[in-house]
Amino acid sequence: MAVSTRTKRSATRPLIVTLIVIAVIAALGFGYASPYMALNNLKRAADARDTQTVNEYVDFPALRESLKQQVTGVLTRRLDAHGNGNPFAAIGAMIGVALIGPLVDAYATPDGVAALLNGMPPRGNPGERPPVPPAPAAPAPAEPAPSVAGNTANGPANSVNSATPPQPPQTTAGYRGLNEFVVTYQHGAGDARYSAILRREGLFTWKLAAVNLNE
């Protein structure tokens, strides 16, 4: 009887070890993917202006301090660049410095987070605010199919509304250390880059905590 019990224990031990290994691998995989999932959840919530969910994924005090430092840096560099040039440009930059507080207040919001995650960072311009989300388009009324004669007179049907919407920015994302995950945005090869920085809180929780406007 004792031999039978020992045999059963020996047979189940490899199964237990296998289950432990699978659990560890799953936890590591989830941990690696957690900032990507947090970023996806945050962007969807910000685009929908879901304030409650945005608050779960943004460290607003840290983001506010980072925005203040970054915008101050942008305006300081602008002042240095215009120090010996156009005096009106320098005056404009100084006015911008005085308005850093309202600009930071405007961007440390769900609207501002949505702008940051869609390639529209603050530029340090006086009175600047994040873009207002577009209102949902009303459904167009049904129209009868155009006749052949109408097509000949007015040109091809696909020539109407041919304007293309602005292209989304190019993005790259990845770890920059064990506890920092960085998303870099760039609209074109010659355009300036900037980044949004998520920081780890706990094992699997990530929050947007900083930006870098001089990437």
* pLDDT number for residue 56: 96
pLDDT surpasses 80 at 57: yes
Show contacts of 112-117: CB within 8 Å, 24+ apart: 113/42, 113/46, 113/54, 113/58, 113/63, 113/208, 114/43, 114/46, 114/47, 114/49, 116/196, 116/208, 116/211, 117/39, 117/42, 117/43, 117/46, 117/47, 117/183, 117/196
3-state secondary structure of 55: helix
Using DSSP's 3-state secondary structure scheme, residue 14 falls into helix
| Mean pLDDT, rounded, for 53-67 | 96
Residue 45: partners with Cβ closer than 8 Å, 6 or more residues away: 53, 54, 57, 110
Q: Of the given ranges (9-18, 62-71, 105-114, 124-133), which has the lowest mean pLDDT?
A: 9-18
Q: Each residue of 140-163: pLDDT tens digit? A: 455 554 444 444 444 443 433 444
Distance CA 40, CA 35 (A): 9
- pLDDT per residue over 20-35, tens digit each? 878 878 777 778 899 9
**Average pLDDT of every residue of the chain:** 78
Distance CA 201, CA 204 (A): 7
- HSE, CB side, 13 Å, CA atoms: give it for residue 182: 14
Residue 187 pLDDT more than 50? yes
The pLDDT value recorded for residue 69 is: 93
